[in-house]
A and B are shown apart, each in its own frame.
Chain A
Amino acid sequence: MQSNLEYDLQCSAVKKHFGSVRAVDDVSLDIPKGSFFSILGPSGCGKTTLMRMIAGFESPDSGDIRIKGKSVVATPPNRRNVKMVFQHLALFPMMNVYENIAYGLRCNGVSKSDIRLKVHDVLERISLPDVASREITQLSGGQKQRIAIARCMVLDPDVLLLDEPLGALDLKLREAMKIELKLLQHQFDTTFVYITHDQSEALVMSDNVAIMNEGKFVQTGTPQELYHNPAEAFVAGFVGDNNRWSGKVKTVTNGIITTETKAGLTIKGSARGDVKPDVGGVVSIFVRPEFIAAKVSAKKSGKSNANNNTIDGLVDSILFNGANSRVLVRDKVGELIEADVILTGGTDDLKPNDPVRLDWSPDQTMCFVG
């Protein structure tokens, strides 16, 4: 890989082992200037180790890490222009907000008057101009978050690393902070590398997301690509909600695969991933709830495509959640299938024990070998 100034951060073939555990195994990435990049993976997948290597708290066994084209593997953490927002923020409790933000500037030997100017400027930019003299304990969760980011941004870093900083917040605040983080990234126009195990955080905020599992990058792409065109069963299962079956391939015609599940359902789907399934092979089948239409069986109104999957069943229960409401439908073999529905509160709404027909296209049925 060549070093390129277009990229703020590049990793090439980075490896790190702890004993026999391969924490990070041959990871390469290129993050373009000014983008919001997320690394998404289950806990223990090595994403924190990767981030600590980028920050310099761990050194890779092999491979290279470049920031703005320059290798930083031999640079100690306090000399890298990569700043990090820690999981629990790590704001210094013995200092007030002003001193927290000024800390890095003082370390760099910036003059007192410049420090004052820069601290107030950055507080202005995170729209907390009046908190300079507050103690850390007097801040709310969201304010602490912003101070932790300001403390890094005041140093004008090449890359800002964020290690699941929203994990400790409650749900409402987390939703608000997602949007705010995205706006802050636009405002500072700095490359953000965001680590999380929460897919919705990654999908909402990122320009690009890398899915990481067992030390490797499984797939890298835009959120839409990952959601609609997962490269592997792991990605399909990890990103977004799914109805999931395991089935045997009966026939393959015109790109449509007909499979039979263990319980005896016949499902038509389309092959995804690099390996095409053969007749008789085993596939994992994924269907997202929003692609399944659930209609009351009596009304045969909608014209359904002849190729579509249709399954009759009874409504088992209604999972009301406003715009994200779902029904659980028990099919004839006794399995539960989730489907999105719109519940208006009127009399037409589905009720438990209503007979329904589920209907979805084979294009939306993702089949992966294995």
Chain B
Amino acid sequence: MRATDIKRLSLYLLFAPFALWILLLILLPHAGMMYISLREKVAPRVYEFGFENYINFFNEPIYWNTLIRTGSMSLLVTFLALLLGFPIAYYIAKIAGNRSRGALFLMCLIPLWVSDLIRAFGWILLLRETGVISSSLQWVGLIGTPIEFLYNDAAVIMGLVYTVILFMIVPLVSTLDGMDKSLIEAGYNLGGNGPTVLRRIIIPYAMPGIVAGCIVVFMLTAGSYLTPILLGGKNSSWFTEQIYDQFITRYNWESGAAFGFLLLAFTSIAVWLGLKLSGQTLNSTVADT
């Protein structure tokens, strides 16, 4: 029949750009990266297949320490973002009046429209030795000499939380928005107090949003580059820095590729674990927000 021919033709035509995009820009590059990471340089321009690059990684404590540090700090950032962001999301979705809700939500989104670089730059201006906070404190008289707030882990964590928190708030607001207010009222009506209502009703309801937010925040944090470098200085030891170092400074593509793959594997496993533990699927969380 002609109608089915047209259907098939349009399916092929629509599938072509999708296939080109995913194949050429996602699958092939990653396959290539995997291939290169499994190459050993035995002599100039002579390569052999092997796990040398990965073995190197595990033999050198600096490398895997950095990865573990990146991972644990990303977890901490994710947790902090959830802790700080949940009340804000709840306020926007359930407490704020109709008019202020939109405005508050937009204000949350503002940093999204501003580059990472500018946000980090702003923090530098605030936190550095000659920065706004240090000189204000001096002017008030609380401190005598300028204080450097930059280049420590606290600054990095704060900067990262600042950068990613809106990716926690947005999915939370959209799930909490769908929750009927009467659910909460029924919870109170049936004798629950604040904490039980939060634990038994609100948090289970918001779970897809929480998981989605945590996944995105964790991935963004673990993969971030600018914020740790600018706020943590040269010693921030973030894993993406190691990758950059291998690629650009040492020009060692084989080990850079291996590092890249390790980061990808590490974050994927973390996300997979998170999904398993919370009983959600990638489709039901990330795709819907």
- Do any CB atoms of chain A lie under 8 A from CB atoms of chain B in the complex? yes
Q: Give bound CA distance, A76 to B1, whole Å.
A: 12
A230 to chain B: closest CB distance in Å?
40
Chain A residue nearest to B2 in the complex (CB): A76
Q: Give bound CA distance, A59 to B2, whole Å.
A: 12
Summarize A's interface: helix, strand, loop or mixed: loop
Q: Which of B1-57 contact A (CB under 8 A)?
A: 1, 3
A286 to chain B: closest CB distance in Å?
43
A120 to chain B: closest CB distance in Å?
37
Q: Which of A55-79 contact B (CB under 8 A)?
A: 59, 76
A: number of interface residues (CB 8 Å): 2
Q: Which residues of A contact B1 (CB under 8 A)?
A: 59
Chain B residue nearest to A76 in the complex (CB): B3
Q: Give bound CA distance, A186 to B3, whole Å.
A: 37
Q: Mark A75-100, 1 if CB is under 8 A from B, else 0.
A: 01000000000000000000000000
A71 to chain B: closest CB distance in Å?
16
Q: Which residues of A contact B3 (CB under 8 A)?
A: 59, 76
Q: Which residues of B contact A59 (CB under 8 A)?
A: 1, 3
Q: Give bound CA distance, A59 to B3, whole Å.
A: 11
Q: Give bound CA distance, A59 to B1, whole Å.
A: 11
Q: Give bound CA distance, A124 to B155, whole Å.
A: 72
Q: Give bound CA distance, A42 to B194, whole Å.
A: 48
Q: Which of B212-251 contact A (CB under 8 A)?
A: none
B92 to chain A: closest CB distance in Å?
28
Q: Which residues of B contact A76 (CB under 8 A)?
A: 3
Q: Give bound CA distance, A297 to B172, whole Å.
A: 68
Q: Give bound CA distance, A59 to B4, whole Å.
A: 12
A205 to chain B: closest CB distance in Å?
34
A18 to chain B: closest CB distance in Å?
16
A33 to chain B: closest CB distance in Å?
31
Q: Give bound CA distance, A238 to B214, whole Å.
A: 55
B10 to chain A: closest CB distance in Å?
16
Q: Give bound CA distance, A76 to B3, whole Å.
A: 9
Q: Mark A47-60, 1 if CB is under 8 A from B, else 0.
A: 00000000000010
Q: Give bound CA distance, A10 to B1, whole Å.
A: 24
B42 to chain A: closest CB distance in Å?
61
A314 to chain B: closest CB distance in Å?
41
Q: Mark A212-254, 1 if CB is under 8 A from B, else 0.
A: 0000000000000000000000000000000000000000000
Q: Give bound CA distance, A76 to B6, whole Å.
A: 13
B3 to chain A: closest CB distance in Å?
8
A164 to chain B: closest CB distance in Å?
26
Q: Mark A109-134, 1 if CB is under 8 A from B, else 0.
A: 00000000000000000000000000
B55 to chain A: closest CB distance in Å?
56
B34 to chain A: closest CB distance in Å?
43
Interface of B toward A, CB cutoff 8 Å: 1, 3
Interface of A toward B, CB cutoff 8 Å: 59, 76
Q: Could you list 3 examples of A-B contacts with CB < 8 Å?
A: A59-B1, A59-B3, A76-B3
Closest 3 CB pairs of A and B: A59-B1, A76-B3, A59-B3
